[in-house]
Structure formats: C-alpha cells, structure tokens
Structure 1
C-alpha cells in the first residue's frame, strides 16, 4: 500500500542549510527554480529564453544549466550564486543535463555533435576544452562520481532498450547495471536511482552497486521520473500522479525506499506548472579551503600536532600502499607556521617510522613508538617501544624512555596532563612470515609531568588498529578501524566513547559504514569523519572522499553532501582554532597508488 502526505508550506526542511534546484515549466516558460526549505521556491532565471536541467555544486555556491532561444541554440552556463557572475562554457547547439564533479570544478553534460549526443566534460579552470568520454551511441544524463573518474549515464542503442551504464574512465571498463533512463548517484556513491518502464508503468528503481541488487521503490500508474538523492539518502523525484501530465516533486525517506514501505511526501506542487530534475547541494555552512601543500616527498601515516601556532608533521610512509622497503620509512619533520602560512624543515626524528602519533607539553613534543624497518625479520618490519622527545626551542630530539609494550597503528590522545595510548598492535613478527602481529587491548597512560607509565585495569572492548580518535570535553572518541589479524581482518563501524574519569567505555551509534584509516575531529556539537576506506566486495576496497557528520545532540550520523579534495585514507586531523586541518593521506587518484601532499582547511560557520 502506498501512502502520500501533502505537506505544502508546513513541511519541515529535508536538510537544513542545503539548496535544491530544478526545472520549472509553466505559464512563464522554462526556468530554473530554487528552494531552500523544500516547500517554497523562487525562479532564479527570467525572460523568454529556455533555462533547462539545472545542477548545483556540492557547496551550493554555483549552478549549471542550459539556456537559449530553443533546442538548437542552447549554451551551457555556470552561474555563481554569490557574485552573480555567469560563465559560458559552450558554443550554441544542443547541450543538456550538466552535473558537477570534483567539488564543482568539473562539469559533465550531454552534447550533440553531427546528430550524436555524447557525454563530455569541461574543467572550469581550463574552460573551452571539452573532453568526450562516450562513442557513437546516443548518451544522456551523466551522473559523475566526485572524482570525475567514474560516471553513470543513459545509453540509447538502436533497436534496444535504454541502458544504464557505469563507466570507469581510468580502467576503461563499463558495466550495464539496468535498463531505463535518467540515472542519479547518491551522495555516498553507493546507490544509483533511475526510472524504468516495466509492464507499462514508469517507476523509480534503485541499484546497490556493492550488493549488486535492484529495488523497485515506486508503484503507481502515473509517470515517476528524474530521481535524485539528498545528503540523508532520501530519494527525491517527480511524478504526475496529482495532475495528469503535470509533474510535482516528491520525497521518500531512506528508511521508506530501502525497506520498500512506499511512504511518499509531496514537496513542491502547483496547479498547471511542472517541476523536473531536482538536484540537491550538500550542507552549505561548511567551507573547505586548499592550504599550501606539505613540502617534500608526499607521505601518509605520519605523526602530527598543532602546538603553539605551528603544525608539526613527523615521519610517515613514502611510496605505494603495503610496500615497506627501507626508503619508504622516514623521520623527516616539517612545521607549518599558521600565521605566515609557510612550511619549514626541522630536525628529523632519529627513528624512521610511521603509524604513530604525537603529544605535547610545554616546549616539548613526544613521539610514541611506530612501525619501522627491521632487516633481521621476515617480513622486514617491527613496532617500536621508544619514546622520543623534541625540543621546539632548540630543534633537537632525545630519547626519554620506553613504552610498556611495542606499539604502532594506535591512537594517542591527551586529556589533561596524561596521554592515553589505545589500540594498535605489535607488528614485530613472532616467526617467519608472520603478518598477523599481536593486537593490543591494554590502555597505557603516560604522565607528561613525571614521565611514568601506568596501565589501566580497563581494557579496550574490542581490539583494533588503523583507526582515528579525538578528545572532546574530557572524553575520548574512537572511530572505525580494522579488527585483529593481518590477513583476515574486518572493517569496524564502531564509534566508541571512553571516559577517563571513570575508565568506562560506551558504544555510540555506529558509523554509516565499516571503515579503516579514516580521519576524524570535532567542532562544537559535531564530530566529523573524513575519507577512509570501505569494502565494496569480497576482496575489493576503495578509498572515499566523503565527509560525514555526527550530531552529539541528536546522536545521529549523516552524510554532509560535501567531499575532500581526494579519495583517501591515512590522513591526519589537527585542530586549528574553530576549524580543522586535514593533512596528507594515501590515494588511488588518477589510477595512482601513492601518498598525497594536500592540506585542507575545514570550517563550520
């Protein structure tokens, strides 16, 4: 049974601080409409020209659409909603269905040349050059991944059903995932919605690209078209079920369509006026800025800390993932001066290592353990138990003690004058070809004033490594990770609170997906998870660019609809006043397998 709720002006906003754009066709012509509350709307174009198929960037600052006197004289334009500046990207012709990728820096679209509609894209920093990615079959409705390296689109072959094609531009591989038209990609890039005509009915279908399954999520004799997703995973689409041939905008919540409850809400409707192709931005009140890149060879899994106006980066892994020759380990140290926005080299840590973290007290920085090269073992690696201290005034290192156990791939969190070491493992092989190591559930506590260690009676509820942690209001929060074992681990979706005052753990709402090597931090009443890696198949994993937020007041995780500059894991987060810095990491960008040197500044306003 299907339930429709008409909400009108009393509708509570789908997604605060997001915009929705769509095509409005009515007595005033064909125009771009925009809504900031998902119930009322305004036209943001005027005049007698056509204004078709708008798209909006993830930050809500720019829209792209086709405009012209008619079908053969359309040009693709990008409009900055703040400055009102309009950038014309193409010559007049038949161009449709623009969609943003790469955080609004690339626009995909369908463009007709010599009678064939092809999918192409233009990089806005090099506007004027169109790169076509499809061949001689008619192609429409591109839905690109944020990377711009994969795209879903509609392909029309002669005398054949319309195909929904998933194209990998790096591997030059394609997969037909369904038959229909107008595909759309969810913000987490897992689900693909499209419309298809089955048994005489046009309905919406959703394909899960991890599970390889398809669900029919609308059932009506009317026409259900042009699906899209908001950041909550809710499905937004159009239908003429209220007025034959006239389309309104509908919503199904994630819970409704994923469980096939078919509980629908009417968002925007007006007698005699049709609304098509809704597209929704991410959260607008977040700002990401690219800062001066890290100097020297790119690295991941380094130690980092913000101390007295400087961000210190120490050690790390240089080179391809899961390869550990001697040259992949470094002790190199650099410092970023926040005031002058410049990087400088500092004295290297004596032990070349990665997979460790830093703490600070007074003029000193402390480096705890790490993962290092060892020629005498098989494999040729080990974990360290060394504590080394750096003097920020003299630019010198010294060894100040040993830890209760060898440890790497763990977290280090300072609460007051004590430093808590949690999780991780001793990777040192116990015998030849031992890659499983020894995972730790002991919690070691270092006193910054006495340099003495204590071991808590309380233990980590479940052993894990390659996770992230942060401190908030005197408590420690643990995010993701991988479980025990080097060859048979699983990804963790655990989000756990530890209270040092009572030495107790508390399970919080699970992460949206199991992940390892995410980066995490907190601002105000929100926690943020950046990137990481998740499982896409039995033996397939991929890095992600997603920025998820956790609301401590509501105890909920949601996708922000915003993205990092790269798909990556093993990045590090530091607090920068009311903002966060996300540094480095490892990525497969452009078919690569190497660390990245990017430094992103993330703020909430």
Structure 2
C-alpha cells in the first residue's frame, strides 16, 4: 500500500486530553532504533538515539522512569532504566537477548523476557538477582499486575497462547491465541493481537465476563496494543505504508461498543512507530509517609486536628475473625511537623467500623462494632458517643446515639454531625449475621449535645461505604446493600444536601465496590482501593486510584496506584492533599491489615 500523501507526520487528535500523561514508543528509521517520547500526543522527541539498538520502552505510572533494552545487537542487550527527572541511566543485567521490560509494584520490580524465558528483578536489590517464573515453554511479552503476583504473557506452544499466571499459586489459564498482550490500567481488560484468516487484528478479553471481542477488522496488520488511563486503546498498523507502522487509537466507547472508529495518532513517511506505552496522571504526586505504629489495623477512625492526624480503634488480625483481641481501642497521633507517631490514651470501648469528627479541641467517636460475649455471633454495635480532649489526653462518654450503629459514615458540617447508613449488627437471634440496616439520618449538635432524626431517609440502605463533604453536601461512595450473608456491591455515587434535605444520584462509579476510601482535592474526587467482584464467589481488593471531575461529571482511572491492594483504608485531609492510611489486604497470599500512610497531592 502506498503512503497517503495527505497524512502528515505528527498527530491528529488524542483521547488523553483530560489527563496529563506521557507516552513512549519505539521509533525505527534509516538511522536506527530509537525511543520516542510524547507529552501531548501530538509531537514527539527522541529520548534515546545512538548507534546502538534501543528497544521496547515502557514508562512508569508516574511518568518519571522509562525502562528499555539497549545494545549493539540482539545478543548484547542490557536492561536499562532512564530516570527522566534526574537525567540518569541505570543498568540491571549483563548483556544478553533481553526484550519487553515492564514495571510493576510501584516501579520496584521489572519483568522481562530473556532468551525466551520470563524473569524479573527487584530494582532495590543491590545484587540484581534475576528470578524466573515457572514456565518450560518459550515465553515473551510479560505484562505484570501492579502486585507483581499475577502475570500475563505470550507462550509459544504449538500455537502462540495468551496466559494469565497466578505466580504465588502456580495457576495458569490460557485465555486466547495470539501475541503481544497488554493490560488496562484498571486491570480488567487484556488486549492482544491474533491472526485469523491470515489477518492480524486486535482482540480484547474481559476478566470479569470472560468474554473476548475483536476490535479491529482492517486487512492490514494491527499489532502491539496497549491502553491509556481512560481505557482508550492504542495500537500500531502498517495500513498507510506497507511494512511501515503508525500509531492509532480507539476510544473506550469505540472499541467497547464495536464502533471501530479509529484515529491516527503518530505517523511519518518511511518511519515506523511501535509498542506505544502510556503513563498514568503525572500531575498526581504520591509520597510514602512514616508507617502507622503498633500492630497494623483496618476499619479505624481517623481525623486531622491542629496539625496532628489521630487514628483510633480498628480491627487487628485476619478478616472476618472477631476474637476479643481483634477489637482495639488504641489511639495514635501523627505530628505533621515532626513526622513522628505517638501513642495516646485509648478509646474507652475497643471497637472498629466507626468514624470520627473534630470540633474545637475535641474529637468525637460515634458508636462502632464491638465484642459481645453473650451473643452468637459474639459481636454488637454500640450507641455510645465518646469525646477525646486533645489538651488533656483523656476520653469521656458524652452522649448516646438514637440507635446502635456501625459501618456508617460521619460527616461534620458546621456544628452538626450527620450519621448516614450503617447497621446495628447486634444479633436479633442466634446466628443472625444480617443485622438491621439503617435508613434513618441522625444529626448531632456539637454545641448543644442533642440529637435530631430527620424525616428524610436514606433512599438505599448500605454499609461499608465511604463519604466526603464538598460545598456543604455529603457525597456517599459505594458500599454493600442489606444483608450480612452475601456481598451485593454498589456502584452508587449519591449526594445529600442537608439544606434542602434531598438526595440525588451522580454518575455511577466505574465499578461496584465496598470498603473504598475517598476524598477531594479541589474539583477532583478520588476513590482509593476497595474491592472488585470478579465472579459470583470471587472478589479481590484493588490498588486503583480513580478520579471524578466535578466540572465534567465524569469518572476515569488515574493510571496511578496505592502501594497495596486493599480496602477499609481511611482518608484524612492534609491541607491541599489527602492522606490514605492503613487498610486490609490479601497481597502476598496473606490476610491481614497493613500499616502504610500515603500522601496524595495534585501538582
């Protein structure tokens, strides 16, 4: 096919206009094999260009690092990482036949293929030891999940296969025939190229539905698919000039609805562009703060007051186990100036599943989920309100709520605290695990120490959800609906206006979830972690960070991730930033809380 003269070098339009992101790709011309970098999806610069080969670039989620292989020929390639901020290069392997490196685990791991075997390194390992996966057949194109515990790759059997490999459990599943797989930022979709009727087209597999669709049908070759943070598909094709590849994109709507509406991104006569890879939102900054002290916990209450972050109560130990020692009243405080943690006086009633409100120099704890020896199961919800005096480091019982409540949200607006959702878990009879869900909205007056129950009720009963306040309105995120014997995850994003006493629904979350964490920075809401439902009985915690634009009323994945896959974390305001604390995780085949404290900001 002859090159169409009206197609100019550079880019026509981009599906990345909402987010600031970087894209890297391989550029091959008469001068050699180079690494290209684009920050606007219109123009590009050559990042790495010399007489040596520079192949298969991949970019970190924060856009600060690029990994690729470099060498004079196929047997002298070296795994290289370029730090774009520092302008430095680091090498991690001896010379060999190395291909297709990919970052994982917040860029602390790199997977790659070496002499038809897939290995990985830990970039913090000074010895630079390579660990190889358990696979006897020739394997290429490793694509790790953020955990580094699940891997997608191409296996050359009698045919080329796309394999999902649970490394820890040594479990492999073939999901299709093809090569060069990639993974969407939300880890839901797997794209690969497959040859049918002597034609190479892009296919996409849905991990949730287990269904595969073909999304390109052109007679020319379509290769090297990948995704951006919005779920748009990128791929390369030689349909403009035989043997010379350009970069194309289809929006999420186009490929998911079978519209086949593609846009040319980058093209230049006589120059090939391969293997595009896109970062996440580079305007998000994530910093690891000093870890929580003491035994890790989840489902605690947290609040910031006068330069200190307070963490109270929580659940210790394995999930869904409730011995007396799993309920804690422990309180710790983090000083934002000195960056140190201190143990404070414990809450009177050890419990979890409650939230805090701050007013003047006091912190209020409302109810909670606690141990109860006389019931089966041995648990109950509390109705007590405890008040902590930050000046004297003492707790006192200050009030009783209108009803026992836990797993609800607490939102302060002015001198009023609004309690929405949750349940009374106290068994009504032996082996009752369904409890009593609440739709009543109870309002506590911090000045008068009085309660009011509003006439309006929560339209959808839920618990294990999250909330934040923006512009005097309470926003409710996800959760699970009535019942304790099953998980009916919710994708509702609901807003309550205390002035008009009305509810309204905003655009649904990108996924149904429970136990997420959430907060706002300016006109952007963030949802951190939570849980995916993969099938009727299969669930997994997630590390994803989603963004909601209040001006455009639209959700997207940020392309950025928490350190762990987890739920039941808590979010606290840190000036113009957010702090994400603790939570519960299954990562590493374990079932336990985590102690991380991450600070998330927008540039």
TM-score higher than 0.5: yes
- Per-residue CA deviation, residues 236-285 of structure 1 (Å, 9 max, x unaligned), is 00000111111000001111111111110000000111011110000001
The alignment partner of 1:256 has SS state of helix
Whole-angstrom distance in 1 between the partners of 2:22 and 2:534: 30
The alignment partner of 1:566 has SS state of strand
Whole-angstrom distance in 1 between the partners of 2:7 and 2:543: 36
The alignment partner of 1:498 has SS state of strand
Whole-angstrom distance in 1 between the partners of 2:237 and 2:306: 57
What is residue 131 of structure 2 aligned with on the other side? 131
Whole-angstrom distance in 2 between the partners of 1:475 and 1:294: 31
1:519 aligns with 2:517: yes
- Per-residue CA deviation, residues 505-551 of structure 1 (Å, 9 max, x unaligned), is 11000000000000000000100000001200011110000000000
What is residue 156 of structure 2 aligned with on the other side? 156
What is residue 104 of structure 2 aligned with on the other side? 101
- Per-residue CA deviation, residues 473-513 of structure 1 (Å, 9 max, x unaligned), is 11111000000111134100000111111111110000000
The alignment partner of 1:398 has SS state of strand
The alignment partner of 2:476 has SS state of strand
What is residue 57 of structure 1 aligned with on the other side? 60
Whole-angstrom distance in 1 between the partners of 2:7 and 2:379: 63
In the TM superposition, residue 361 of structure 1 has moved relative to its aligned partner by: 1.3
The alignment partner of 2:490 has SS state of coil
- Per-residue CA deviation, residues 112-158 of structure 1 (Å, 9 max, x unaligned), is 1xxxx11111111115111111433111000100000000000112x
In the TM superposition, residue 13 of structure 1 has moved relative to its aligned partner by: 5.5
Whole-angstrom distance in 2 between the partners of 1:488 and 1:467: 15
What is residue 552 of structure 1 aligned with on the other side? 550
What is residue 390 of structure 1 aligned with on the other side? 388
Whole-angstrom distance in 2 between the partners of 1:37 and 1:28: 25
- Per-residue CA deviation, residues 394-440 of structure 1 (Å, 9 max, x unaligned), is 11111011000000000000001100000000000000010000000
1:14 aligns with 2:16: yes
Q: Map 1:184-583 onto structure 2 (within 5 A).
A: 184-583=182-581
Whole-angstrom distance in 2 between the partners of 1:289 and 1:488: 36
The alignment partner of 2:349 has SS state of coil
Whole-angstrom distance in 2 between the partners of 1:495 and 1:28: 53
- Count of aligned pairs between the two proteins: 596
1:120 aligns with 2:119: yes
- Check conservation: 1:6, 1:267, Cα contact below 8 A: no
- Per-residue CA deviation, residues 165-205 of structure 1 (Å, 9 max, x unaligned), is 10001111010011110000000001000001011110000
My pick for the range that moved more, 484-493 or 546-555, is 484-493
In the TM superposition, residue 9 of structure 1 has moved relative to its aligned partner by: 4.3
Which consecutive residues of structure 2, in runs of 5 or more, have no partner in the other structure? none
C-alpha change, 1:197 and 1:10, in structure 2 (3 Å) is closer
Whole-angstrom distance in 2 between the partners of 1:6 and 1:148: 41
1:141 aligns with 2:141: yes
In the TM superposition, residue 221 of structure 1 has moved relative to its aligned partner by: 1.2
Whole-angstrom distance in 2 between the partners of 1:39 and 1:402: 61
- Check conservation: 2:12, 2:263, Cα contact below 8 A: no
Whole-angstrom distance in 2 between the partners of 1:532 and 1:166: 23
- Per-residue CA deviation, residues 533-576 of structure 1 (Å, 9 max, x unaligned), is 12000111100000000000000000000000000000000000
The alignment partner of 2:94 has SS state of coil
TM-score relative to the length of structure 1:
0.97
Whole-angstrom distance in 2 between the partners of 1:229 and 1:416: 44
In the TM superposition, residue 233 of structure 1 has moved relative to its aligned partner by: 0.4
Whole-angstrom distance in 1 between the partners of 2:358 and 2:104: 40
What is residue 33 of structure 1 aligned with on the other side? 36
- Check conservation: 1:346, 1:395, Cα contact below 8 A: yes
- Check conservation: 1:118, 1:134, Cα contact below 8 A: no
- Check conservation: 2:186, 2:544, Cα contact below 8 A: yes
C-alpha change, 1:26 and 1:597, in structure 2 (3 Å) is same
- Per-residue CA deviation, residues 204-241 of structure 1 (Å, 9 max, x unaligned), is 00001111110011001101000000000010000001
What is residue 180 of structure 2 aligned with on the other side? 182
Match of 1:595 among 588, 593, 596: 593
The alignment partner of 1:590 has SS state of helix
- Check conservation: 1:6, 1:265, Cα contact below 8 A: no
Whole-angstrom distance in 1 between the partners of 2:470 and 2:582: 23
- Per-residue CA deviation, residues 439-463 of structure 1 (Å, 9 max, x unaligned), is 0000000000001000111111100
What is residue 78 of structure 1 aligned with on the other side? 81
- Check conservation: 1:187, 1:233, Cα contact below 8 A: yes
What is residue 24 of structure 1 aligned with on the other side? 27
- Check conservation: 1:100, 1:107, Cα contact below 8 A: yes
The alignment partner of 1:501 has SS state of coil
My pick for the range that moved more, 26-35 or 553-562, is 26-35
TM-score relative to the length of structure 2:
0.98
Whole-angstrom distance in 1 between the partners of 2:7 and 2:277: 20
